[in-house]
Amino acid sequence: DAKTTQPTSMDCAEGRAANLPCNHSTISGNEYVYWYRQIHSQGPQYIIHGLKNNETNEMASLIITEDRKSSTLILPHATLRDTAVYYCIVRVPNYGGSQGNLIFGKGTKLSVKP
């Protein structure tokens, strides 16, 4: 799986948009970008994933650059409960076993402040 690079930490004001960047310059053509987050002392929570088109769901939006070498996760109106470590992962689709396993790096610690 391709390696990703994320800032160690970021701050965001409550109610504002949180934009979390991720670089994945060595991503291959069949690798998807996945985002998870982990709130302290809980298991990681899936947020969103995409291949090359921008994606949106009830939690967030994912913007992937045209060359696919970077992406941005957007939380449109951050709340205090969005304070967590956010992980950007690139991997091939889960076709079973090791091919679909997630490799988590250190992620970005997002602190939402009142």
Partner 1 sequence: SQTIHQWPATLVQPVGSPLSLECTVEGTSNPNLYWYRQAAGRGLQLLFYSVGIGQISSEVPQNLSASRPQDRQFILSSKKLLLSDSGFYLCAWSVQTGLWPQHFGDGTRLSIL
> For binding to partner 1 (CB under 8 A), which residues are involved?
32, 34, 36, 41-46, 49, 87, 93-98, 100-107
Which amino acid, residue 58?
Answer: E
Rounded to the nearest whole angstrom, what is the least distance from the CB of residue 60 to partner 1 in the complex? 13
Nearest-CA neighbor of 34 among 60, 8, 7, 67?
60
Q: Is 86 helix (H, G, I), strand (E, B) or coil?
A: strand
Smaller CB separation from partner 1, 58 or 114: 58
Smaller CB separation from partner 1, 96 or 114: 96
Smaller CB separation from partner 1, 15 or 93: 93
Query: Could you give the CA distance from residue 53 to residue 39 in angstroms, rounded to a whole number?
Result: 27
